[in-house]
Structure 1
Amino acid sequence: MRITVHRAVSSVVCATAALAAVLTAVSPAAAFNQSAYWTIYDASGELVEDVPLTATAGDEVTVRPAVIAEGVTPDPSAVETFTLSGATATFTSATQTDGSFCQISGTTAVCHDPGGPGSTCPYPPGGLGFREGCFALGILPTEQGTVTLTASAAGDAFDPNPVTSSTTITVSSASTAPTVTGISPDSGPTTGGTSVTITGTGFTGATAVDFGTTPATSLTVNSDTSITTTAPASSSIGAVDVTVTTPNGTSVTTSADQYAYTYRFAGFFPPVKNPPMFNKAEAGRTIPLKFSLGGDQGLNILAPGSPFVHPVDCITGAPINNATGAADGSGLTFDSATSTYTYAWKTSKAVTGTCQQVNVRLADNTDHTADFSFK
């Protein structure tokens, strides 16, 4: 009796390299030639080549073993037992094409094979065979590693020696593209250079990080869920998607992977003091709001309606109400010699005795404030 294993072409079990035959020693006194081995056939029953079985964790595979007797009338009481060991895997189904009864329980499948000339199993290579039974075993591996599949056929009246053979299924981890679930910090200046931590999954083996279409200037894979990188410079403000590329693919863009490029605002220049300091000023005077954005960014750097002012508490600096008004002035200018922007804020006499906060909101949607106490 021989035990062979073949697979249908539609099976997701992969054929990738040569697999040596596995022979089981039998009694020298056996009345008939008896051995056990695993081999692979195509759907028509023709021998293709000996190959290893491979699978991916979480994906069901189908293995099709055949039990074939040479020169022996098949025994209707024959029982074939299939077992799984090694990396975690279970049987999901077991069927016999000739209609005999199969039972599965976790890592064991037992089939009662009546045999007979109506079987659809292929002959073993080079053998004179009588086809007994053909089986289809559904196997679900859930762990990376090696699963050992063992087939055992009980002896019969002509030869009591049982036949046992085993082969292995090499299970790889699921090949999934990385995902990005967080960016910290999620903004930085257009000049680049900001150290950014990316969180997500599937980062092992990462080969690239891109901010929009621009590659990051550095990449360190801390773990499968964390990457430290450096944001590259950008020619414009606004949000871009940060993507991670590994051998398994590139992360799909979502709202969680966005990084906002902003102007490089470093605070107001004297004579204006930055928070938490209050500036003392005379109502009705023009106050120069000077700042730099790291170079000439053009004159369209202000958000619509900016700058604007609203009253604040003179002790805590907290807004008194939601009332806001435009900060009147003579407009925005840029001095190329000093790389400085200036907005000349013309204050109103009406703010005498109050405290006001001026907010220069830039086109990148960032707010920059200064507090004033007017006399």
Structure 2
Amino acid sequence: MEALAARLSQLDSQVEGAIRVVMFYDTLMRRRVDLPALARASASLAECVAGLRLHGTGRVIRFAPDGREAPAPPSPASTTTPITLDEEEIGTVWLERSGAPGSLDPVLLDRLAIAAAAVVERYGPARTTMADPALVELAISSDSDEAARARALRLLGFAADLPVRVVAVRSPLPLDRVGTLLCPSRPVKAAPLADVGIILATTVDQDRIPAGVRAGIGAAESPDRSWREARTALRFTTSRRPVLHYAGLGALALLAQVPEDAARDNADVAAMARVAGDPGDLETLETYCAAGSLRRAADLLHLHHSSVARRLEQIGKTLDLDLTDPTGLMRARLALTAWQLLND
């Protein structure tokens, strides 16, 4: 192997060099080497530090050209390539070259990524984001006992000493993509459950939730309770507030416990349904309730404040409320939220 690396370093032909890089990794794969051996051989071949990280476990492997583990902290990567398995990104490989990237670096990393995926698949289970929905449901069900829940979480790849956060999502994007974005370097699993997607993760970076995705984030450490909280928070999301933490709802969460029949029979909620018949009026009221002031609402709607004032006056007549009065505004906010929950 070392002899082949030495010969490769003397190649003048880029085409011949690329072919020999492919042969080099074919030899490694036939020998069924593990991930550290792959990284070590790659560092020797590239004559610089080579690194590998698996997203599902957070495992990082780095080797220097002399065959020893590379010292920390790592240098900036000069070239990177994703590791994909079953069309899902499960990790990354990279080179830490001090100078400009070598002409064969992309070929080397491409073959390293393919070899790493083969090793993960061979010695798996593969650390993919998507999980068996039945196993996820067992982990979050309130009917599961603690032993069954702990076993389900262990089978999903979560360590016993790590907290598990639950996120309920409605997404136009694939769940595995959302899960990887939410928790890029720690264990994360996703599965569809009825009409809602569920993501289990050890950490959640809400700033990484992509546009168009609505997400409710549970607060409790127990997965079953966190799931109920996440599902409740999801119900309160809107286009203007697409991501909500259950803990941030406070007393508003109590509205989710109001029986649907009682909510529909309420006069303010019934009037809100009439307002919702006009999308423009509904947007105006939603913006005004969120902004808390006429001028701020006008700025958000890109309208003159007098136009917004006229709309709000008409909406107030429909609701039989004075929206400039604090009590009237509070009733409108509660009625709007209750109506949104009914139409979730």
Q: TM-score range by the shorter chain?
A: under 0.3
Q: Could you say which structure has the larger radius of gyration?
A: 1
Greater per-residue helix proportion: 2
Q: Quick one: higher RCO (CA 8 Å, sep 6+), 1 or 2?
A: 1
Report the TM-score, using the length of structure 2 for normalisation: 0.21
Report the TM-score, using the length of structure 1 for normalisation: 0.20
